[in-house]
Amino acid sequence: MVKHTPTKKVSKEKYSSFVQVADGFAEAAKVAREFDYPNAAGVLIIHSVIAYADALTIKKAGLKCKGENHYEVISLLSDKMPFTAERQKALDHFSALISHKNMISYHGQIYTKGDVSKLFKHAERFIAWAKVNLE
């Protein structure tokens, strides 16, 4: 049985709004990091990546995952974005970020500066791939 990713239709033109939100989260994450709020920085940079992923699926397919399981975005991106080694690396970065989000949001983990540096590295790599594919 094939698992269906729950989605909703979104006008493709809306992708730019998601990019704007993603950029806002990324900028806020940088400020939080600068002022030594590692948990806020971590959550914000992860939400930036989620918004970029939504922008991609909206622009490419007019679809957005619905629900709270962010791992389903990986399935949708896999379905809608052509396979390349770069796509696979980007999805690996996305998956790592979602794993971290779950640890902090649902298990009370406290981030260190080192943790945040790793999150930013994953995010920067995913965002770079997303921006190329949003051109």
Residue 41 in this model has a pLDDT that exceeds 80? yes
Confidence of residue 68 (pLDDT cuts 50, 70, 90): confident
Residue 23 burial (C-beta neighbours within 10 Å; 0-12, 13-18, 19+): middle
Q: Is the pTM of this model over 0.85?
A: yes
35-39, 46-50, 96-100, 117-121: range with lowest mean pLDDT: 96-100
The predicted-structure confidence for 88-113, as pLDDT tens digits, reads as follows 999 999 999 998 876 776 777 888 99
Compute the average pLDDT of residues 10-34: 98
Which tokens sit at 50?
């989620």
User: Percent of the chain scored above 90 by pLDDT?
Assistant: 81
132 three-class SS: helix
**Level-2 CATH architecture, domain 7-133:** Up-down Bundle (1.20)
The predicted-structure confidence for 46-58, as pLDDT tens digits, reads as follows 999 999 999 999 9
CB of 69 within 8 A of CB of 121?
Answer: no
Task: Please report the pLDDT score of residue 1 as a whole number.
Answer: 37
